[in-house]
Amino acid sequence: MTQVLASSEFQSKVLEAQGPVLVDFFATWCGPCKMMAPVVDQIADEVTGQASVYKIDIDQSADIASRYNVMSVPTFMVFNQGSVTNSTVGAQPKSVLLGLLSK
Amino acid sequence: MHDTYDIAVVGAGPAGMTAALYGKRAGMNVALFEGRMAGGQMSEAGTIENYPGFPDGVAGIDLAMAMREQVEHQGITIIDQLVDRIIPSADHTDLVAGGITYHAHALICAMGAHHRQLNVPGEAELIGHGVSYCATCDGNFFRGGSVAVVGGGDAAVGAALYLSRICTQVVLIHRRDTFRASQRDIDRLSHTSNIELHYNAEVLRLEETPQHKLAHIITRSTLTGKESMLNVDGLFVMAGHIPSSDLVASFVQCDDHGYISADEQGATSHVGIWAAGDIRSKHLRQVTTATADGANAAEAAAEWCAS
């Protein structure tokens, strides 16, 4: 299972991370988010050692969601050295998300 | 590299998943190309009240996940790549996905349909910033606020009703003066005090705030041409669907709207290619008719493979 971050962990785990980080902004009530969950878990397994994958529950961490203007779920963002380098809105196949990470 | 299957099913909504199940049960080696999301439109639906077997209705996502689980349990190969190209020939079809060419004896097209955009200025820029195509996904972002819904069919009316329980105000914008939704939902509309109906109106353009959020919607009366400004926090576009038939439209006969012409068995104009679900030219597009299409197409394709 991909780790769901608390707001307090965002700085150290995402913004100060060494490599790229894929963040899945999701909501517990969102159908497409549930459907994407196993795909996100697979990606987390596949990129171990090269990148990190975390989830942000937009209701639990509304501060983070609002800081990055998330107004649709799922929203996927790639962070690199503290800033957003790529993002996409809505359900996506695994290959597209892997592509976001490698760009 | 070639991976070979008896039947390739493209699309994993209710039609595609049912086709995969029936194909597998007929003893075929089946590959299911899942595309963007298993469940398709079903995964975005709120409560589905007209799929038999669920007296209290069933959440679209729950039905989708149950179908997905059933497909997995049957040992069907699921390929989570978008198909880039489909190359037909007389006795097989090649599918290119993620740089790999897959070889299938029979092809079942179950790509469904995707949301029709309004194609007005400001729409594309504001997707994810106030413009949404999924009320059950994004409604909560506008809790206590005001939203507009565009459209006049089941999806639009259903979204307006759903949003009326979350938002203080919902404006339903429709080009015509009557709705094409189920009578039951139309009756609910008239009994919902926080839904305002704007008939004979179309969206002209969307304007954004300096913070890159939706500021207001400019609409125009289809009767008088008069323009109006509507201040809302969010816009839900429910203006119908477009069939996702691009990959096959050059070699399979489609109707004037791009839906694949196919008979009840799903047989298309091209030998070895079947169509099932919302992508097929037909009158009623529902989860029930999609599963029925999937079963019929898989049965026909399996028979053809075995002959």
Output phi, psi for B33, to 5 deg: -85, 110
- What percentage of chain A reaches a pLDDT higher than 70? 100
Q: What is the pLDDT of residues B188-205, one digit of tens each?
A: 999 999 999 999 999 999
The alpha carbon of residue A64 is apart from the nearest alpha carbon of chain B, in Å, by 14
Residue B77 Cα distances to A27, B10, B30, B71, B139, angstroms: 29, 12, 6, 9, 35
Query: In this predicted structure, what is the pLDDT of residue A52?
Result: 96
Q: CB–CB of B194/B168 below 8 Å?
A: yes
The alpha carbon of residue A94 is apart from the nearest alpha carbon of chain B, in Å, by 6
Query: In this predicted structure, what is the pLDDT of residue B90?
Result: 86
Q: How many helices (H) and strands (E) does chain A have?
A: 4, 4
Residues of chain B with Cβ-Cβ distance to A33 below 8 Å are 137
Query: In this predicted structure, what is the pLDDT of residue B237?
Result: 97
Query: In this predicted structure, what is the pLDDT of residue B212?
Result: 87
For residue B1, pLDDT beyond 60:
no
Q: Which residue has the tokens 């070979």?
A: B4
Mean pLDDT in residue range A72-94: 93
Position with higher pLDDT, B290 vs B43: B290
Q: CB–CB of B67/B19 below 8 Å?
A: no
Q: Degrees (nearest 5) of the Cα angle B173, B194, B177?
A: 30
pTM: 0.86
Residue of A nearest to B136 (CA): A30
CATH topology of domain B117-237: FAD/NAD(P)-binding domain (3.50.50)
Domains, chain A: 7-102 (3.40.30.10)
Mean pLDDT in residue range B108-121: 96
CATH topology of domain B2-114+241-306: FAD/NAD(P)-binding domain (3.50.50)
* Model confidence band, residue B81 (pLDDT cutoffs 50, 70, 90): confident
Query: In this predicted structure, what is the pLDDT of residue B2?
Result: 62
Q: What is the pLDDT of residues A7-61, one digit of tens each?
A: 999 999 999 999 999 999 999 988 899 999 999 999 999 999 999 999 999 999 9
Residue of B nearest to A88 (CA): B128
Torsion of CA B66, B67, B70, B75, to 10 degrees: -130
Candidates B94, B138, B154, B185; catalytic one = B138
- Listed in order, the ranges of chain B carrying CATH 3.50.50.60 are 2-114+241-306, 117-237
Query: Are A95 and B44 inside 8 Å of each other by CB?
Result: no
Q: What is the pLDDT of residues B90-99, one digit of tens each?
A: 889 999 998 9
Mean pLDDT in residue range B126-142: 90
* Model confidence band, residue B187 (pLDDT cutoffs 50, 70, 90): very high
Query: In this predicted structure, what is the pLDDT of residue B107?
Result: 98
Q: What is the pLDDT of residues B12-69, one digit of tens each?
A: 999 999 999 999 999 999 999 998 889 999 988 878 889 999 999 999 999 999 999 9
